[in-house]
Chain A
Amino acid sequence: MHISTNPWVWIAFFFTLSVYTFLWKDNFLYKIAEHVTVGVGMGFWIVLWWDQTVVGQFWIPLSTNFGTNFHLIVPAIMGLMMVTRIIPKYAWMSRYALGFTIGAGAGFALPRVIQGGILQQLYATLLPIDFSSTGLGYNLIIIIGVLSSLIYFFFSKEHKGVFGGIANIGIWFLMVGFGATFGYTVMARLSLFIGRVLFVLGDFFGMQLF
């Protein structure tokens, strides 16, 4: 065992322990860690966006070659129009910039989302039912799962009789889905904790872990 002499590792160790003290109860150390995280994160983003976007994407291209980059003034003006939201008298100007952003975003996204998120997913449920040793009827389970879950979310007909029975099967599929998601969530949270334990044992205490 060899405790690290790197001050950054000590700082990270201090904040790791500070965050976990919350498990005992809310306290001063946790609050320090929480506020530092929020502050550092926000500061990082502001500097980065200023440097990469305003300076990198606007100021440098415009100041080095105005002739070919003068069109950048248009998005810059629209960006300023967004900021008018903080002045109630001129807030209406922000709607034009927002309208452009939403319109362009939706225009880019809609055809691809329909293709990738709906049509290709739909094709993936139109499957041959295969009971061979490789297929094992999994495709049938997918088809039943999709149809029964969709029927559960069909609210224009009362869930009674055969329709209600299929909707109930849909509930079972949904429950299995929620269970899998919850199981994975537990695994994820533990992984993050394990990550911190690896840091404390490996980086701070210098233990050989693998």
Chain B
Amino acid sequence: MNFWKKLEQLDRRIIYVIITLAVILPFFFRLGLPISISPEVKSIYDYIENLSPTDVVFISGDYDPQVDAELTPMLEALVRHCFKKNVKVIAANVYNPQGVGLVEPRLKKLAREYKKVYGVDYVFLGWKYGGTLLIMRMGEDFQGAWEVDYYNTRLEDLPLTSRIQDYDDIALVVSLTGSGAYISWIYYAYVQYGQKLAAGITAVMAADSYPYLQAGQIIGLLGGLRGAAEYEQLIGHPSLGSAGMEAQSWAHIAIIVFIILGNIGYFKIKKK
């Protein structure tokens, strides 16, 4: 049996082992592969960079634990950037209650790190039933839509949220999602109220989201772990995203080699 025939009958578990090694070994032997910055990530960075300390960024963690690995690095990078610039942050989980347990501890951790005061520099709203209705209500009466924060404090009693009436008081909404939640934000916040939006989404959905970026319905896009890594590079704080990128690159190289070998093998065997 020749090499190509053997390759065709290769046990799939050997491929799993190779991919596993390609992912794990880069954490021990780093080559320091560069991470280039794409325009769609830079545009979000530039927008937040130009905000003033009185501006508010609303981050909706519309995701659940299944996609935590891709979206939490984005959340951390965005909040870090806002806190560095003293931009105020309101975080919530408009579409996914499972995101509460993922967003709240990260927000608290970063607030401690940057010495931010709850209610003044940031507020966490948690999840509330409503989805699209909640998005629309926020455009009419922000405080009426949420009423209380995650800790049951009325929004009018918190200095930060007491001055938020509607989307006019929010500089940017970022939807971090592993679903089509960001499209609902486009339809109900951008189309109806002209709210500036950005999306942080899983890589699976990234290709489908470029038409919204090209149409100017979102100002920028963070696609998967790569998007998070790029943002971390921009803010000068390599973290979870950047740590995984080298492993990602090596795993991609391994997959490309498999695809090339598989195709060569296919044509060689077909020729015979």
Chain A residues close to B by CB (< 8 Å): 23-24, 41, 44-45, 48-49, 52-53, 56-57, 108-109, 112-113, 115-117, 120-121, 123-124, 142, 177, 180-181, 183-188, 190-198, 201, 207, 209-210
Contacts and interface: CB of A to CB of B under 8 A. Distances in A.
A190 B251 contact: yes
B68 A121 contact: no
Given A108-B132, A112-B187, A191-B69, A198 B224 contact: no
A191 B224 contact: yes
Given A124-B215, A191-B244, A48 B223 contact: no
A188 B63 CA distance: 14
B247 interface: yes
Interface stretch (B82-90, B159-167, B234-242): B234-242
Contact of B224 (A124, A184, A207): A184
Contacts of A52: 97, 127-129
Contact of A191 (B16, B183, B248): B248
Interface in B174-213: 183, 186-188, 190-192, 202-208, 211
Interface in B47-72: 66-70
Nearest to A48: B97
Nearest to A192: B69
B69 A120 contact: no
Contacts of A190: 19, 23, 247-248, 251-252
B43 interface: no
Contacts of A209: 27, 243
B97 A188 contact: no
A129 B19 CA distance: 44
B19 to A, nearest CB: 8
Contacts of B68: 195
A73 to B, nearest CB: 17
Interface in B120-171: 127-129, 132-133, 136
Contacts of A57: 129
Contacts of A142: 214
B27 A197 contact: yes
B128 A194 contact: no
B111 interface: no
Contacts of B223: 184
- Most chain B CB within a 10 A radius of its CB, from A49, A108, A180, A197: A197
Contacts of A112: 187-188, 191-192
B107 interface: no
A124 B252 contact: no
B204 A210 contact: no
B244 A186 contact: no
B70 to A, nearest CB: 5
B217 A116 contact: yes
A184 B207 contact: yes
Given A180-B207, A188-B204, A194 B244 contact: yes
B187 A187 contact: no
A76 to B, nearest CB: 14
B224 A187 contact: yes
18 contacts: A57-B129, A108-B136, A113-B187, A116-B190, A120-B215, A121-B215, A124-B216, A177-B207, A185-B204, A186-B252, A191-B203, A191-B225, A191-B248, A192-B66, A195-B244, A196-B69, A210-B242, A210-B243
Contact of B244 (A108, A198, A207): A198
A194 B248 contact: yes
Given A187-B225, A192-B69, A193-B251, 12 more contacts: A23-B16, A49-B129, A116-B217, A120-B191, A124-B215, A184-B203, A184-B204, A186-B252, A191-B244, A197-B23, A197-B247, A209-B27
Given A23-B16, A187-B248, A195 B69 contact: yes
A23 B224 contact: no
Nearest to A177: B207
A194 B225 contact: yes
A185 B201 CA distance: 12
B110 interface: no
A44 B243 contact: no
B28 to A, nearest CB: 9
- 10 nearest A-B pairs in the assembled complex, by CB-CB distance: A195-B69, A124-B215, A188-B203, A191-B225, A194-B244, A116-B191, A112-B187, A188-B204, A210-B243, A181-B207
